[in-house]
Structure formats: structure tokens, C-alpha cells
Chain A
Amino acid sequence: MPAIPRPFPDSASFAPTFAAGFAPMSARRLYVFAGIALIAGGLLFGDIFAVFILHQNAARQGEALIAASRAIAAGNAVAVNESFSHLGNVLEDRGTKVDAHAHMIGVGYLALLLALVQPYIALSRRTKKSLAALFIAGGVLLPVGIFLIHYIGLTGSPFSAIGWASVLADSAGALLILVLILQAWGFWKYVRSRQMSEPELPDQDSMSHRALLTGGTILILLGFLHGAYYAGALLYEHERMETAILQRLISAATVGNLDAATAEINNFGNLAGARAVNIAAHAHIIEFGLLAMLLSFVQPFVFLSEKWKRRWVKLLLGGSVILPVFVLLELKLGMLAGGIADIGGLMVMVSLVGMLVGILRYSGGLDVAETDLAEADAAEDA
């Protein structure tokens, strides 16, 4: 059966000036691949955490507080300390996982950002590539170190409060700072010389680019407005409520009123839930807005037909709205909303992987074209 020739997607171009900005193993290519992979990995980790750990962890926090209230009623200070030791462990388990998720995605954003500004970094190609490799190493080690803090603890550490996993995470953070400072120095050199070190991203006016740019800006603006509303209307109220609930919990437990103490623990859990969903919705809608804007720049590298590019864009923007909206609705709809929010995260992740496949196709096509050109030149010379 004869092979059916497949047309190249019309939106992708292998113009020489553009190809020079996406050369094999160039800093820009490393940042784009690593950035999208880190963001997709961070989202996957976040979804797994939300489904399998988050709610179970909240239940364990409630159990620890109930045990502490029972210990107060029994007048047993030693049991109180044991309950809090357990509670601290549960909170560390949750906190390090949230931080690993957030830092992995944050570093992914920074990687995409650095891919954009590479033309304005007046450093040699080799230096830029080395910096990209260092950045990726720091970006991978930082969330790994944070994740391990809970499991390694202070084992074998010479410090009183900092374990080896923290040392790893802090060292990785320092590496990222060093790379950023060197990038800023490279940018300063560009400002002085006004010589671009590689071609800028080409101007584009595709639907996928415009939708991501406009949609991203609107998502960020909505996130800022929600954050302003939360800080103005709820933050200080929630802080006052937390101390008041704990005071009532302690008073009820002291007089042996265990039902009232349990009711206050439920209030405490509801308050913690209200804070968590507001902060998560605020953070996620802004992060997804920024992600959409960043991805709008790499659309020329996505070697897919315009129809497929639009599909991934719609999926990404749809997921970017569904996740924060349904995270907020968890307070009213409970687990159903949580499940829908997780699907929103999955939509964003799938669209990211779809775009990454398109970028891999682009770079593969570019490399093959360059190899063919080199072979043709060699044959001509012979």
C-alpha cells in the first residue's frame, strides 16, 4: 500500500532565522522542554495530592485536635503534648507536599520565562546553555528536597532545626538565585550593547496565540480582584475567628464539655477549609493565567495543525476556569466540586502534554531538516 503523504501543518514554519532561535540543545529549547515538563509534573503531583492525601490529612488533623481536647478534659498535659507532636507531623506532611507542588510549577514558569528572554541575555551560547542546565538541576532538586523534608527529618543532621533534605532544597534554591542573577547581568550587558544574542520570537497573529494572551490576562485580573476581596473582607476576620474558636475549644474542654469541644473542632476545620479554598482559588487562577500567557509565546514551536492547537488552547483555558471556580464551590458542594476541580487540573495537564508533543515534533522536524542540509552540503563538497 503506497504511503499517503501527510501535509505539514500550515502554522508551523522552519524559517532559518526562527530555527536559529530553537537550535538543538540550545538554552531556549532546554528551558521550554523543562518548563512545560515541570509544570505538567507539578500539576500531576497536585492532582494526586488532592485526591489521595488532602482530605485524609484534614481528617487526621481533626483527630489529633479531638485527642488534645480529651487530654485537656482529663487534665493530662503529657497526652496534650503527644497529640500536638502528632498534629505537627500531620501538618508537616501536608505543608511539604503543597510546597513541593507549588515550587515545581513555579520553577516551570520561570523556565518558560527565561526561554522568552534569551534573545536579550548577552552571554555566549555555551554560557547560556550551562546556565540552563544549572537552572533545570536546581528546579528539579528544589521540589525533591522539599518533598523529602517530612521523610528524612533531622536524621544525621548536624543542625538543630534543619535536616539534610532542607539543606538540599535550600542549596537548590540558591542555585536558582545564582542563575537568575547571572541572567540579570546578561540582560544588563544587552541593555548596554543593544546586541541581541539570538532572534526574537516571531510576531504572530494566530487565534491560539490571541486566545491564550487575552484569556491569560483576564484570568490574572480576576485572580487579583478575588485576592483583593479576600484580603479586604475575609483575611483579618478569619484570623480573629481562628483564635476565638481555639479559645472556646480550650474553655469547653477544660470544663469537660466534650460535645461543645468537638463542635468547635468542626468549626476550626470549616474555617481552615474556607481559608484553604480561597487561597487555592486565588493562587491557581493567577498561575493558570500566567501559564496561558507564557504558552502563547511558544505556539510557533507547537508543530500541530491550527485545529489541534485550538483544541489544546480551549482545553487549557476551560480547565483554568473550572479548577479555581470549583475549588471555591467546595465549601457549598463538598467532594463533588472537589472532583470537578481535579478534572479541571487534569484538563490543563492534558493540554500541556499535547502542546509538549507538538513542540517535540517541531524540534524533531527541525533537527532532521538540519541533518539533511548538512548531508547535502557534504555530498556537494565531495
Chain B
Amino acid sequence: MTGSRKLLILGGMAFAALGMLYGLQYALLVEHQTLDHMGGSLSQSFAAAASRNAGESRAALEQYGETKYDYVRQVDAHSHWIGLATLMIVLGVIFERVNFSEGIRQLVAFSLLAGSALFPLAVILQTYHHGAVWKALAVFGSGLVIAALAATAWGFARPGTTG
């Protein structure tokens, strides 16, 4: 088995387990409380408005927005890690059919691995800091994945074989 295939299959299995473990701990320790908090904030915002307390209503609505922002990203990171891991394992099985030299295949596999690690990680980090740094890292990570997949598609379509 070539190095690029090992990288993709081992990396994919590691990311699948990581994504599932992350999802499990989130579901057990955080998700139910987050959903309660999200629903509670929105409800509180409406109830405060009914009591004609505009300040409390606005604060609760902002709290709702922030909680939902975090929740969406936590769930996205979990699902993207597992999804990208699945893709890496599938590609790992057939990567020798990508008609490039093994050196280029390793570069493509490494890009896919790095992008699959960075993209969901940067999405999670956005829940701690809303600045542009983590958004840029997420864009960079997803760009690596897209470039690697485009190269893979090109490699599948190229005529000839390289062992």
C-alpha cells in the first residue's frame, strides 16, 4: 500500500473517530443544555416584550443569536469532520487510480488531510472568538479540500497509469 493511501485511510479513520467522540461528548454534556438555553432565551425575549421590558427583551434576543451561532458551528464541525473522514477513506481505497506520480498523490492526500483537520477546527474556534482569523483559517482549510478534490477528479480523468 502506498504512502498516500495509508495517509488517507489512517487519517480518515482517526478523523471519523475524533468527529464521533466530539459529537458524543457534545450530545452528552452540552447539546441538551444549549438547546434549552437557546429556546429559553427566545422565549424570555418574547415574554419580556409582553411585560413591556424592552431592554431585557433585546438582551435575551442577543443571547439567543449568540447561542444559536455557537450551536450551528458545533454541529457543523461534528458533521464535517465525519463527512470528510468518510471521503478520505473512500479515496484511500482507490487513490492508485489517480493518474499522478506518487509524490503528487502524497501532496494531494496531505492537502486533503490538512484541510479536513483545519476546516472543522477553525469552525469550532469561531465559537470562542468571532474575529476574522478563524474565518480565514476555515476558508483556507475548505480551499485545501476543494483543491485536493479537484486534483483528484483530474487525476481520475487523466489517461494513462502510474503505479
Which of the residues A72, A80, A84, A180 comes within 8 Å of B17, measured between beta carbons?
A180
Which of the residues B47, B54, B69, B153 comes within 8 Å of A221, measured between beta carbons?
B153
B49 at interface (Cβ–Cβ under 8 A)? yes
CA distance A290 to B69 in the complex (A): 28
- On chain A, the residues within 8 Å of B142 by CB distance are 224, 227-228, 231
Which residues of B, 7-40, contact A by the 8 Å Cβ criterion? Answer: 9-10, 13-14, 16-17, 20-21, 23-24, 27-28, 32-33, 36, 39
- On chain B, the residues within 8 Å of A120 by CB distance are 1, 9
A80 lies within 8 A of B50 (CB): yes
A246 lies within 8 A of B28 (CB): no
B127 at interface (Cβ–Cβ under 8 A)? no
Q: Binary interface profile of A, 137-176, with partner B (CB < 8 Å = 1, else 0)?
A: 0000000000000000000000001100010011001101
B156 at interface (Cβ–Cβ under 8 A)? yes
B118 at interface (Cβ–Cβ under 8 A)? no
A84 lies within 8 A of B86 (CB): no
Which residues of A, 305-320, contact B by the 8 Å Cβ criterion? Answer: none
- On chain B, the residues within 8 Å of A364 by CB distance are none
**Distance (whole angstroms) from the CB of A83 to the closest CB of chain B:** 8
CA distance A42 to B39 in the complex (A): 28
Contact A214:B65 (CB < 8 A) given known A109-B86, A173-B24, A297-B93: no
**Distance (whole angstroms) from the CB of B77 to the closest CB of chain A:** 13
Closest to B14 in A: A184
Which of the residues B61, B86, B149 comes within 8 Å of A224, measured between beta carbons?
B149
CA distance A188 to B97 in the complex (A): 23
B23 lies within 8 A of A173 (CB): yes
**Distance (whole angstroms) from the CB of A28 to the closest CB of chain B:** 13
B108 at interface (Cβ–Cβ under 8 A)? no
A113 lies within 8 A of B86 (CB): yes
B146 lies within 8 A of A247 (CB): no
Q: Binary interface profile of A, 14-25, with partner B (CB < 8 Å = 1, else 0)?
A: 000000000000
Total contacting residues, chain B, CB less than 8 A: 59
Which of A80, A162, A183 has the largest number of chain B CB atoms within 10 A?
A80
Which of the residues A76, A81, A176, A250 comes within 8 Å of B61, measured between beta carbons?
A250
Total contacting residues, chain A, CB less than 8 A: 66
A106 at interface (Cβ–Cβ under 8 A)? yes
A59 at interface (Cβ–Cβ under 8 A)? no
B152 at interface (Cβ–Cβ under 8 A)? yes
CA distance A196 to B48 in the complex (A): 66
CA distance A83 to B46 in the complex (A): 10
A247 lies within 8 A of B61 (CB): yes
Contact A180:B89 (CB < 8 A) given known A75-B50, A191-B6, A217-B149: no
B28 lies within 8 A of A187 (CB): no
A242 at interface (Cβ–Cβ under 8 A)? yes
CA distance A88 to B89 in the complex (A): 38
A183 lies within 8 A of B13 (CB): yes
B114 at interface (Cβ–Cβ under 8 A)? no
- On chain A, the residues within 8 Å of B93 by CB distance are 116-117, 297
CA distance A291 to B73 in the complex (A): 25
**Distance (whole angstroms) from the CB of B92 to the closest CB of chain A:** 8
CA distance A109 to B45 in the complex (A): 42
A117 lies within 8 A of B89 (CB): yes
Contact A76:B50 (CB < 8 A) given known A173-B20, A177-B24, A220-B87: yes
CA distance A79 to B10 in the complex (A): 55
Contact A217:B9 (CB < 8 A) given known A75-B51, A81-B43, A180-B16: no
B82 at interface (Cβ–Cβ under 8 A)? yes
A290 lies within 8 A of B87 (CB): yes
A53 at interface (Cβ–Cβ under 8 A)? no
B146 lies within 8 A of A250 (CB): no
- On chain A, the residues within 8 Å of B50 by CB distance are 71-72, 74-77, 79-80
**Distance (whole angstroms) from the CB of B76 to the closest CB of chain A:** 9
A36 at interface (Cβ–Cβ under 8 A)? no
A187 lies within 8 A of B10 (CB): yes
A234 at interface (Cβ–Cβ under 8 A)? no
B146 lies within 8 A of A253 (CB): no
Q: Which chain A residues have a beta carbon within 8 Å of chain B's beta carbons?
A: 68-69, 71-72, 74-77, 79-81, 83-85, 87-88, 91, 106, 109-110, 113, 116-117, 120, 161-162, 166, 169-170, 173-174, 176-177, 180-181, 183-184, 187-188, 191, 194, 213-214, 217-218, 220-221, 224-225, 227-228, 231-232, 239, 242-243, 246-247, 250, 253-254, 286, 290, 293-294, 297
- Can you report 28 residue pairs joining A to B where beta carbons are below 8 Å apart? A75-B50, A77-B48, A84-B42, A84-B43, A113-B86, A116-B90, A116-B93, A161-B36, A169-B27, A174-B24, A176-B20, A180-B20, A188-B10, A217-B152, A221-B146, A221-B150, A224-B142, A227-B142, A228-B146, A231-B142, A239-B72, A243-B64, A243-B65, A250-B45, A250-B46, A290-B86, A290-B87, A294-B90
User: Nearest 8 CB-CB pairs, A to B?
Assistant: A84-B43, A161-B32, A243-B65, A77-B47, A77-B50, A184-B13, A80-B47, A217-B153
